[in-house]
Amino acid sequence: MKRYDLHTHSNVSDGALPPAEVVRRAAGAGLDGIALTDHDSTGGLAEARAEGERAGLEVLTGCEISAQLEGKSVHVLGYFMDTEHPRLVEELRWIQDDRVVRAEKMVEKLQKLGVAVTMDMVRAHAEGDSIGRPHVAAAMVDAGVVPTTVDAFTKDWILEGGRAYVDKRVMAPVDTIALIVEAGGVAAVAHPIWVENDLGRSVERIEEWAEAGLGALEVDHPEHEELWRRTYGDLAKRLDLVRTGSSDFHGNAHGGPMGANTTDEDVVAELRARAARR
């Protein structure tokens, strides 16, 4: 049975490694395929696929699109989308542009808090299309404010609701799901426990989104405890959502190791079939 990791990141967004190296890591982990799901960008797919052909590893079309619900971040994975779909291209560019504005506002807040961080320092860590909080966090490490990027994600700094946090200007989850479907893809909620940080409330949200066209659910994620996996697994079965597993690989302190959780080829085939019916 072939195994796929359906949630990986490169330095096109907030991962540490170029797309080709992400593919090599996947091949080294014994995987048969990955979905490259950079934040709000499909810019790394061509490089990843070229390396995939050399390594004998399939690279599926993917993207992790930022959404927001009542001031809380929600991440929606899109699989098998038409990456040239006009509205998808437009919305991703709009989100990427706002990411820059958002980073600038976080830097301003940090400077007012006495942190010697500049946008040049942030940009030094952002090699691809999508500037994000991990790049701000890396600049904070450079400035000696926090020892690791993980330590920047607290209420003192850039965690949601933190002193230097700035909201995103993105679509609501239902609109993001609709966009993915319009572009011929299948939408999946990434790490659903993050939706509300409450198991019961996250289940209610997923039920709502299933009615809006959600097609899959990331049940097996490195940060999901066993109870959460059982609950989301039962929910996926009840709502006829494709159950996926992945690592959320970033190649740094964020996410898990490549192949930490995987998705079997028959599940990938079901995702592909659902996309083909769009």
Q: In the predicted model, what is the mean pLDDT of the chain?
A: 95
CA distance 219 to 191: 7
- pLDDT of 129 above 70: no
pLDDT of residue 82: 98
Q: How many domains does the chain have?
A: 1
What range does the domain containing 29 cover?
3-84+173-276
Any domain includes 181: yes
- CATH number of 9's domain: 3.20.20.140
SS3 263: strand
Q: Residue 175 CA to chain centroid, in angstroms?
A: 17
Give mean pLDDT, residues 233-258: 96
pLDDT of residue 132: 85
Any domain includes 46: yes
DSSP code string of 31-44 = -SEEEE--BT--TT
* The Cα angle at residue 17 between residues 64 and 106, in degrees rounded to 5: 60
pLDDT of residue 90: 95
CA distance 87 to 44: 19
Closest of 25, 262, 5, 254 to residue 134, by C-alpha:
254
Any domain includes 178: yes
Question: pLDDT tens digit string along 38-57?
Answer: 999 999 999 999 999 999 99
Any domain includes 243: yes
- pLDDT of 278 above 80: no
- pLDDT of 149 above 70: yes
pLDDT of residue 160: 87
Give mean pLDDT, residues 187-215: 95
Give mean pLDDT, residues 240-252: 97
Any domain includes 26: yes
Percentage with pLDDT > 90 across the chain: 87
pLDDT of residue 166: 93
pLDDT of residue 70: 87
SS3 28: helix
Any domain includes 230: yes
pLDDT of residue 134: 87
Any domain includes 91: no
Any domain includes 263: yes
